Amino acid sequence: MPELPEVETVRRGLESQIRGARILRVEARRPDLRIPLPPRFALRLVGRRVEEVARRAKYLLLHLDDGEILVIHLGMSGRLIVGPARRNVAPGKHEHVEFEFDNRQGVVFEDHRRFGLMTLVPGAEIDRHALFRHLGIEPLGPTFDGMVLARLLAGARTPIKAALLDQRRVVGVGNIYACEALFRAGISPRRLARTVAAVRADRLAAAIRSVLSEAIAAGGSSLRDYVQASGELGYFQHAWKVYGREGETCAHAGCAGRIRRIVQANRSTFYCPRCQT
């Protein structure tokens, strides 16, 4: 499943190719993805100009010149293929929606499992919309720091790992990045969330920001291929420090611990029991 850094990289790729471009043609090859497409979907989009490509959590927000926002979520397996607009090409079986822009760029939404979605929301209503109103703080936003994080965790009786995955607190920290951030901050994933305060919260907030930022920076190198229409959107090839490394020696200098895998809330957690406390 694409996580925040992958979605942010897609956002940057889209922005570089279609910001300011006008939609010439939309082909919706089915009436729904995870949810139905809005009524008259294609008709409402044709002629609109994309003023901005933004992101909220893992949603891409294409701000259109009539004040509406085209919301796109990639779900579990969705990808956006960006490249020169195609004409007279038979679409692939899972290429459900295709856009053509007046700068000759095209965007194809492909999703074989159809957990993704596309919808239109009036710009002024976006924060109150059912998809968005419960969402927590953006970890890469200007106001996210240890103090804010500590406040969000105060009173939480769940382990910190589970609290980080809860999108009502902080958005976009998925399973892999939660494991990596906790490792970097030296905090056990089993620690009660409400005990992550003060200096610990400062360390964790900084670790979340740096883990995500580094992943986005790594994504930049694959952005070129992406824009050239290979469209591959998977996890970036990172050297994860704990994720998937059960039994290996801890990467922290001077720590002889071995990475352990446990299951929390049905998700695998990887951590070093020696230096994460």
Catalytically active residues, by annotation: 2-3, 58, 267
Nearer to Zn ion, 137 or 255 (CB): 255
Q: Shortest approach of Zn ion to residue 242 CB, angstroms?
A: 9
Q: Which is nearer to Zn ion, 19 or 191 (CB)?
A: 191
Return the CA Rg of the chain. Answer: 20
Residues 159, 214, 142, 186, CA torsion sign: positive
| Length in residues, the chain | 277
Q: Please select the residue that binds Zn ion; options are 112, 190, 261, 274, rule is CB under 5 A.
A: 274
Size of interface with Zn ion, in residues (CB under 5 A): 7
Binding flag, residue 179, Zn ion (CB under 5 A): no
Rounded to the nearest whole angstrom, what is the least distance from the CB of residue 120 to Zn ion in the complex?
48
Q: What are phi and psi of 157, to 5 degrees?
A: -95, 5
Cβ contact 18:50 at 8 Å: yes
**Shortest distance, position 251 Cβ to Zn ion, whole Å:** 8
Say if CB 33 and CB 84 are below 8 A apart: no
HSE of 156 in the Cβ direction (CA atoms, 13 Å)? 25
Residue 275 makes contact with Zn ion by CB under 5 A: yes
- Please list, in sequence order, all residues whose beta carbon lies within 8 angstroms of the beta carbon of residue 97, skipping any fewer than 6 positions away: 26, 27, 28, 29, 33, 37, 108, 109, 118
34 binds Zn ion (CB under 5 A): no
Q: Is residue 255 at the binding interface for Zn ion, with CB under 5 A as the rule? A: yes
CB nearer to Zn ion: pick between 225 and 246: 246
Pick the piece of the chain touching Zn ion (CB under 5 A) from 120-128, 198-206, 219-227, 253-261: 253-261
User: Is residue 272 at the binding interface for Zn ion, with CB under 5 A as the rule?
Assistant: yes
* Tokens read off for 61: 């927000």
Q: Which residues neighbour 6 within 8 Å (Cβ) at sequence distance 6 or greater?
A: 219, 233, 234, 235, 236
Q: Quick check: 252 binds Zn ion (CB under 5 A)?
A: yes
Binding to Zn ion by residue 42, rule CB under 5 A? no
130 Cβ neighbours under 8 A, 6+ residues apart? none
Q: Which is nearer to Zn ion, 226 or 271 (CB)?
A: 271
Tell me: does residue 257 bind Zn ion (CB under 5 A). Answer: yes
Residues within window 212-251 making contact with Zn ion, judged by CB under 5 A: 250
Binding site for Zn ion (CB under 5 A): 250, 252, 255, 257, 272, 274-275
